[in-house]
């Protein structure tokens, strides 16, 4: 059973006893699978788990090793007996993949797959689908010119964080908050000037985006940084197409009162939205063919341009077919403005 050797022998102490056992299992798997495609499918799936573990430098605990061994032996015996291998028989591979993909602090907290399966905390992480989102964000960053190719940074830029490093920046409380967002969206935000992000947006127009991005002077006056990436921040934002009203948000109040109430109502570790997070969220949405906030607009309540005189806001304008970073007066009252929550970003990765 080559898959057995790949996952276990590399991760376990090598002894003649285990080597002999796994060699026999390998022969049984190769000779006894119901069909070549059955055998190859199982081998491929286990190989993928092994690759993920090696890539993220994850060491399997003795408990996880034993769990994999036990279930592989069941599959092996069924193949020897020419019995059907069911989806339930192979469920352990999905569980092993999930354990390998967990943030480091959760792997340390739940050393066995049985403990992981009973954890509400892990269930919330699973619901967020952070691993697949991470891969998709690399493609988006490449599309907009922040990466030379998926996963590789340009010369002179700080390297994009690995999945493991990115996940290590989140506290358990933040993941719990994010699991309750309308649509949790992972963002890898490069530390550049805002002007660099606007330039990237306009240089890679697609779909219904035709006009250049409008940027009010309040953003230009408070901008900093350069086109070079000097670090990264990792967020999970509420990325629904159009935001629902958060509980307690009174649309009949003026903007400055709504913002004050929203900040008071937030849970510890919960943040709002700023220009940089919004730009990366909009890039992801445009690349996927459906810009956010075409009907409503978002108050950027975490932006440095927020003041007693101006409330920064952003949207996708269907009339101009482009992104708009504008502002309103604090005393404005309207029912078409919403908030977007976010978590993370406290750790600056260099």
Q: What is the pLDDT of residue 22?
A: 35
Q: What is the pLDDT of residue 40?
A: 57
In b/e form, how buried is each residue of 140-178, taking b as 16+ CB within 10 angstroms? bbbbbebbeeebebeeebbbbbebbbbbebbbeebbbbb
Residue 338 pLDDT exceeds 60: yes
Residue 324 pLDDT exceeds 90: yes
Average of per-residue pLDDT values in the chain = 85
Q: What is the pLDDT of residue 17?
A: 34
Flag whether the pTM goes above 0.85.
no
User: pLDDT per residue over 200-211, tens digit each?
Assistant: 999 999 999 999
Let me know if 316 is exposed, middle or buried by CB neighbors in 10 A (0-12, 13-18, 19+). buried
Q: Which helix (H) or strand (E) holds 325?
A: strand 322-328
User: pLDDT per residue over 262-283, tens digit each?
Assistant: 999 999 999 999 999 999 999 9
Q: What is the pLDDT of residue 160?
A: 95
Of 4 and 303, the one with more pLDDT: 303
Q: What is the pLDDT of residue 11?
A: 37
Residue 232 pLDDT exceeds 60: yes
Residue 6 pLDDT exceeds 50: no
- pLDDT band for 89, please (50, 70, 90 cuts): confident
Q: What is the DSSP track for 18-48?
A: HHHHHHHHHHHHHHH-SSHHHHHHHHHHHHH
Side-chain-side CA neighbours of 336 within 13 Å: the count stands at 8
Q: What is the pLDDT of residue 39?
A: 58
**Number of Cβ atoms within 10 Å of the Cβ of 260:** 12
Residue 335 pLDDT exceeds 80: yes
| Residue extents of the structural domains in the chain | 2-118, 128-344
Reduced to 3 states (helix: H, G, I; strand: E, B; else coil), residue 185 is strand
Reduced to 3 states (helix: H, G, I; strand: E, B; else coil), residue 218 is helix
Least confident of 10-14, 79-83, 100-104, 344-348: 10-14
User: pLDDT per residue over 125-153, tens digit each?
Assistant: 777 788 889 999 999 999 999 999 767 89
Q: Please choose, from the candidates 165, 225, 161, the residue with its C-alpha nearest in 3D space to the C-alpha of residue 195.
A: 225
């Amino acid at each position: 059973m080559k898959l057995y050797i790949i996952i276990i022998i590399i991760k376990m102490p090598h002894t003649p006893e285990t080597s002999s056992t796994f060699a026999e299992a390998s022969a049984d798997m190769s000779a006894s699978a119901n069909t070549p495609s059955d055998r190859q499918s199982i081998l491929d799936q286990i190989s993928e788990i092994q690759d993920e573990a090696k890539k993220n430098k994850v060491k399997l605990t003795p408990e996880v090793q034993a769990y994999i061994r036990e279930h592989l032996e069941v599959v092996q015996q069924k193949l020897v007996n020419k019995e059907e291998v069911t989806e339930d028989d192979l469920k352990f591979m999905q569980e092993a993949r999930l354990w390998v993909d967990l943030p480091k602090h959760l792997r340390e907290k739940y050393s066995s797959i049985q403990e992981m399966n009973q954890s509400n905390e892990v269930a919330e992480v699973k619901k967020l689908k952070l691993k697949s989102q991470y891969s998709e964000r690399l493609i988006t960053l490449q599309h907009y010119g922040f990466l030379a190719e998926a996963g590789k940074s340009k010369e002179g830029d700080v390297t994009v964080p690995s999945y493991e490093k990115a996940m290590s920046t989140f506290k358990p409380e933040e993941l719990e908050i994010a699991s309750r967002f309308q649509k949790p969206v992972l963002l890898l935000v490069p530390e550049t000037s805002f002007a660099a992000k606007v330039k990237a947006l306009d240089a890679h127009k697609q779909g219904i985006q035709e006009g250049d991005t409008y940027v009010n002077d309040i953003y230009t006056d408070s901008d900093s940084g350069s086109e070079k990436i000097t670090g990264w921040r990792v967020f999970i934002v509420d990325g629904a197409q159009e935001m629902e009203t958060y509980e307690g948000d009174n649309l009949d109040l003026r903007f400055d009162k709504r913002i004050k109430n929203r900040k008071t109502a937030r849970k510890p570790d919960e943040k709002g939205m700023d220009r940089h997070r919004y730009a990366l969220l909009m890039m992801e949405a445009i690349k996927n063919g459906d810009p956010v906030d075409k009907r409503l607009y978002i108050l950027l309540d975490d932006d440095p341009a927020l003041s007693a005189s101006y409330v920064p806001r952003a949207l996708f304008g269907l009339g101009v077919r482009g992104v708009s970073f504008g502002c309103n007066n604090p005393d404005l009252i309207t029912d078409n403005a919403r908030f977007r929550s976010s978590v993370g970003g406290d750790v600056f990765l260099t």
